[in-house]
Amino acid sequence: NAGVTQTPKFQVLKTGQSMTLQCAQDMNHEYMSWYRQDPGMGLRLIHYSVGAGITDQGEVPNGYNVSRSTTEDFPLRLLSAAPSQTSVYFCASRLRGDNQPQHFGDGTRLSIL
């Protein structure tokens, strides 16, 4: 199993551009989520999904959209990139159930100029 795969690993955008961060998992996990990580601030939840067709907002959803058309994929869309969205983005997945740990990808490092 590849686990959780995120692409691209690095990206530089100009303010106002849009892009999609890809996340795929091959563990048949029902739950998937997106976090951003900024220096000294830990992981903040952007959006999450508990199954195909179901998404919900996390702590910092503004400026981001998600969709979950398949169990495997959970893309994160930046609609109009802003410098405040410069961050490292992590995707995670886990099995359904109360006591299941999340598995993380290795992140996408995004810079907005």
User: Which residues are at the interface with other proteins (CB under 8 A)?
Assistant: 4, 31, 33, 35, 37, 39-43, 45, 48, 50, 56, 58, 88, 90, 92, 98-99, 101-107
Query: CA geometry: angle at 66 spanning 111 and 13, to 5°?
Result: 20
CA distances in angstroms from 31 to 2, 55, 84, listed in the order given: 17, 10, 27
- Indicate the residue among 16 and 113 with the shorter CB distance to other proteins: 113
CA distances from 16 to 50, 51, 83, 88, 97 (A): 30, 31, 9, 18, 39
Q: Which is nearer to other proteins, 67 or 102 (CB)?
A: 102
Neighbour count for residue 44 (Cβ, 10 Å): 14
Tell the smallest beta-carbon distance from residue 16 to other proteins (Å): 25
- DSSP structure class, residue 85: G
The least CB distance from residue 80 to other proteins, in Å, is 25
Nearest to other proteins of 58, 63 (CB atom): 58
Closest CB 98 distance from other proteins, rounded Å: 6
